[in-house]
Amino acid sequence: MRHSKKTVSAADVMTTLGADYGPAEWQPRYDPAEELVYTILSQHTSDINSERAFLSLMRAFEGLDAIADAPAEAIEDAIKSGGLAKQKSARIKRVLEIVREQVGSFDLSFLAEMPMREAKAWLKALPGVGPKTAAIILCFSLGMPAMPVDTHIYRVSKRLGLIGPKVSADAAHDILEPMVAPEDVFAFHVYLIRHGRQVCKAQRPRCQECILAWGCPSNGKTSAKRAASKRAANRVDSR
């Protein structure tokens, strides 16, 4: 397929990756308050570990009320498989206490009725909740057009030139989100993250297999830089 464009746009991501990866259908994962707990557990650890820790936590307690009332040490023991258990247990307990105090329950469905900017602000006022966590809750639990930006999406977006090289991960949320129609935000997220996991990998991007290579300003450059660094290291070793 020939392309007249010189650079990849968000529309190209939707059409090209969409055709390759297929439809991205939204389905709720957990309710918003549970998603909040899960997302805290997912910070600085793998999906496997965070899922294991979340399921262990939910088995150990009868519900979010019980978790909020439990000693931080008991929460820590339940989530130890997820890593950073001491910090995360204290954060989970405090966040749940604040939510219950402000809302009177753990029903956060009211966020879906708010303008998204206000919903994000409400969530980000909670301790330890940044743009990514807020977007995950709104997108994955409530189906709102919020764009979570994880490490894969951040990397791919920079390599494709969708965001500038100096844009921070936090700022990337607000830049990427309006690039597509609201109804396409979830699919945009899914396509970029899948591409980052399968093709545009951190250490060894498969540029020769990339269907967006025709317009990617980083095409081949990552491998070239790695090869140059290796040659330089070899020269140092040989001295």
Q: What is the pLDDT of residues 180-208, one digit of tens each?
A: 999 999 999 999 999 999 999 999 999 99
Residues 128 and 198 in one domain: no
Residues 45 and 122 in one domain: yes
Does residue 171 contact residue 164 with C-beta atoms inside 8 Å? no
Supply 109's token pair: 């469905």
Residues 130 and 168 in one domain: no
* Residue ranges making up the domain that contains 198: 1-24+151-239
Supply 174's token pair: 């607000």
* 140: nearest Cα among 58, 14, 32: 32
For the cut 70, the answer to whether the pLDDT of residue 233 exceeds it is: no
Which of 114, 141, 168 is at the close of a domain?
141
For the cut 70, the answer to whether the pLDDT of residue 87 exceeds it is: yes
Whether residue 4 is contained in a domain is answered as yes
For the cut 50, the answer to whether the pLDDT of residue 132 exceeds it is: yes
Q: Bigger pLDDT: 95 or 239?
A: 95
Whether residue 56 is contained in a domain is answered as yes
The domain tally of the chain equals 2
Which of 88, 118, 141 is at the close of a domain?
141
Whether residue 212 is contained in a domain is answered as yes
Which of 101, 120, 141 is at the close of a domain?
141
CA 57 to mean position of chain CA atoms: 22
Q: What is the mean pLDDT of residues 55-60?
A: 95
Read off the CATH number of the domain in which 165 is found.
1.10.1670.10
pLDDT score for 55:
94
Whether residue 84 is contained in a domain is answered as yes
Supply 68's token pair: 């909020």
For the cut 80, the answer to whether the pLDDT of residue 222 exceeds it is: no
pLDDT score for 5:
55
Residues 124 and 61 in one domain: yes
93 CB neighbour count, 10 Å cutoff: 19
108 CB neighbour count, 10 Å cutoff: 22
Residues 79 and 164 in one domain: no
Residues 20 and 46 in one domain: no
Residues 85 and 103 in one domain: yes
The torsion of the CA quartet 12, 15, 16, 22, rounded to 10 degrees, works out to 150
> Using alpha carbons only, what angle is made at residue 112 by residues 110 and 115, rounded to the nearest 5 degrees?
105
